[in-house]
Structure 1
């Protein structure tokens, strides 16, 4: 069964930015893909137990169009469906997608809070998924790294960790900008998303090195796609500098 049509893996995906990502765990929770997402969730939980706590996670990727937003959105839903109160935050202030995914306005969000022009109470929104709240990016700013590295961002993360069972943050590709490195220092763990047939081993290794350089805690690597991507859409989960699903 073809769940998602095969695309040119080296082409930047403009679809998700305009239309949002595919919420498989919401619309087809009994599918193979949804079950794979739940397996990833379980693996991340085990990694978190080994580090004693898991209240906040950053999900990033080496490059654009590796699938981090699709993985993070479906993981947020999976955790919410399991009974945890989840806040899903769009901290990709370069190419945000969360507002499109949940069909929400993007005039007020994370950037509004960090710049002092909005409040948490009005910016955070409930979703149709029980236990899942979202914080969209807000207006794309000229200084994303500065905002994400601010004391206000640190305070917001601490607030979310107290208010919710889990905070999931989607952020920009770590090999391209410093946003992922900055956030990796403020949360309990970082998950890296790579894509089979697109992400090179060298770029995956570079991404891990960048996170480790700031002493970020890498929980694992999610490999999106399979060797037979034309026949379907799969996920794998592994640890380290890469696996068989990277070139």
Structure 2
């Protein structure tokens, strides 16, 4: 069974790299899954009574657990609410945002972070591209650099997060899995909130708890979890949002 799960997850990961993820909130806005995403959007928006959540990290414990699907669809729902939204692909090793939105994975975040001496406000419009969805901009990851973690922990990355927070209503950050590399921890430490994606029937409890502990160690504001791929009547899948709080 464990071997089957690993094989299934690898197939999902390879497919998303080539084809991107399903933007169900765009092509089927009246579906039950889209309604679940709108519920998730509402829960995120009202999860922090004392402040507005603008920068949101969405991650998972391990690879191929649906964090890119959730981050992309959450970004779409924010945009469809009329909020000026940007989706940033921070998974420089296995980016999928470019494929999901039909954009080339060139330049992007990597180029933005490695162009020294250039002002962010002048460079960002060159790499952050609008999508066919009104109010939604995406910043693809770009070519894989030799030092992703160092780039995400750089002063220029912190400056970028600050700039995006000031110029967008919502900033959705699709980060690598927590247990794979330190990237998610680095970014979550500076974001307003973090959501952990946990796939039903695939995620292992010990790994989810390890991921939560690693995020807690950097004082990430974990506002809840998304349990996805849950079975429903008739064999359809749906997304369920459940919270745990500090």
Q: TM-score, normalised by structure 1?
A: 0.91
Assess if the C-alpha contact under 8 Å between 2:17 and 2:95 holds in 1: yes
* 1:230 Cα deviation from its structure 2 partner: 8.1
Assess if the C-alpha contact under 8 Å between 2:130 and 2:138 holds in 1: yes
SS of residue matched to 2:89: strand
Structure 1 moving runs of 4+ over 2 Å: 8-11, 227-230
Q: Name 2:133's counterpart in structure 1.
A: 129
Structure 1 runs not aligned, ≥5 long: 1-7, 242-247
Q: 1:163 to 1:152 in 2, by over 3 A?
A: same
Q: Name 1:69's counterpart in structure 2.
A: 68
Q: 1:229 to 1:200 in 2, by over 3 A?
A: farther
Over the residues paired in the alignment, what is the CA RMSD in angstroms? Answer: 1.6
What does 1:43-82 align with in structure 2 at a 5 Å threshold?
Answer: 43-48=43-48, 50-82=49-81
SS of residue matched to 1:225: strand
Structure number with the higher helix fraction is 2
> What is the aligned counterpart of 1:207 among 208, 211, 236?
211
Assess if the C-alpha contact under 8 Å between 2:128 and 2:137 holds in 1: yes
Q: Name 2:21's counterpart in structure 1.
A: 21
Structure 2 runs not aligned, ≥5 long: none
Q: Name 1:111's counterpart in structure 2.
A: 110
Q: Name 1:217's counterpart in structure 2.
A: 221
Q: TM-score, normalised by structure 2?
A: 0.91
Q: 1:51 to 1:78 in 2, by over 3 A?
A: same
Name the CA distance, whole Å, in 1 between partners of 2:228 and 2:60.
11
* 1:240 Cα deviation from its structure 2 partner: 2.8
Q: How many residues align?
A: 233
Name the CA distance, whole Å, in 2 between partners of 1:126 and 1:165.
15
Q: 1:157 to 1:229 in 2, by over 3 A?
A: farther
